[in-house]
Amino acid sequence: MNPEQQSPWQWTQDGPQLDFARAFARFRGVLESAWTSPEGGAAVAETFARCAEAMQEPLQAPEAAERIAQSFATYHEALRAATLTPEVRRMVREALHEYVADLIKAWAAVPPDNMAAADLAAIAQSMSWIASVAVDIENA
């Protein structure tokens, strides 16, 4: 994935977010190498983007709930197809454990005075994304 598709903090070169960004990048690398095929990984990314798009629709829009439900179903189908093997699931589970260990080290190394609200929001966003992906893969 290129930097234009990511939040700017994920490409940080210094500051309090660097260790967190590295941990995110390591998990992301394992995830991208774990897909059963490049096409499967691309399908997951594409259907996930459609889910995010659907979630932005006002719920009052006609059939919005149906479109959201369908986009999630399509995403989960793509995820199941891309992570069908036990080996892939094991890799993702191990990567999640390594990510948690990296986070613990990163939190221990950051002086509280160096952490801005925007830093914390970006870190929380990445933690939430990784946790969601890991849960989705476990449940696929």
Task: Specify the pTM.
Answer: 0.70
**What total number of domains does the chain contain?**
2
- Expressed as residue numbers, the domain containing 140 is 10-35+85-140
> So what's the pLDDT on residue 98?
96
The verdict on 41 and 23 lying in the same domain is no
Q: Which of 67, 82, 97 is the C-terminal boundary of a domain?
A: 82
- Checking if the pLDDT of 68 tops 80, the result is yes
Same domain, 113 and 131: yes
Q: How far apart are CA 96 and CA 33, in angstroms?
A: 14
Tell me: the pLDDT tens digits for 96-128?
999 999 999 999 988 888 888 888 888 888 898
Q: What is the pLDDT of residues 27-67, one digit of tens each?
A: 988 888 888 788 888 888 898 888 878 877 777 777 888 88
Domain assignment of residue 45, yes or no: yes
